[in-house]
A = this chain, B = another copy of it.
Amino acid sequence: MRISELSTHSGLPVASIKFYLREGLLAAGDLTSPNQASYSQEHVDRLRLVRALLEVGGLSVASARDVLAAIDSTSMPLQWVFGIAQHAIAGGLVAPATTGPDAPGATLVAEQIAARGWRIQPDNPGIAMAASVLDAYESMGYGSLNDTIGEYARAAEIVAEADLDAVAGAADRAGMAEVVVVGTVLGDTLFAGVRRMAQEHVSGRRYEGVPSEGIAPEIAVSPVPDAGASAAC
């Protein structure tokens, strides 16, 4: 297909495609004449991946090039490809505070990793993210999230298994890396949304008590009779 058709199939303007070609994010087409190149379905697929990296993952062109090189290097273990993709998108999430390796947050994270037997590299971007949140929370005077982090880690294992199931559903290495990037970024927002729903549900169960009063049994000064007991009085 010509570049105009590639534009139609990918939904991207010709100018964007030419930019990706110049930046080396998309392989050149086969020259059919000195001024015309032919593109294939592979180009359509690659464009979707490039777009996912740049628009959903928020990667820079240079980072996207690194991820693409990792995907294309078939001798590279798949797990390394995932790691490279994870590192590339890590910059997109702003950690709330900087923190040192000796800060309490880093220790808490290290303890958690050991407790759960997680085998991860010391440069996993999640370590700094989690440690900085723990330090920020404590430095604001809210106490320690010691108990919270353990439950978060337990929940994260469930989410990670689901994430890797989605990755395993992809057709090839490129597709898998694509799902790693898109899934990691979108998954953060998906989980944040589901978490807000669960919070309302759990908060309702704990604090609703009698709907008309809305006082939680735990914090009510006097015992609150339930609806059945009220009717009996």
Contacts and interface: CB of A to CB of B under 8 A. Distances in A.
Interface of A: 48, 52, 56, 76-80, 82-83, 86, 90, 93-96, 109, 112-113, 116, 118-121, 124-134, 136-137, 140-143, 145, 147-149, 151-169, 178-179, 182-184, 186-208, 213-216, 218-219
Contacts of A76: 214
24 contacts: A56-B140, A77-B207, A78-B214, A79-B214, A116-B201, A118-B197, A119-B201, A129-B189, A129-B190, A140-B182, A148-B163, A148-B190, A149-B194, A151-B158, A153-B197, A155-B158, A159-B195, A159-B198, A160-B195, A160-B198, A163-B195, A164-B203, A184-B195, A188-B195
A190 B82 contact: no
B192 A126 contact: yes
Given A151-B159, A155-B156, A130 B194 contact: yes
Per assembly, the copies of the chain total 2
A200 B161 CA distance: 10
Contacts of A48: 140-141
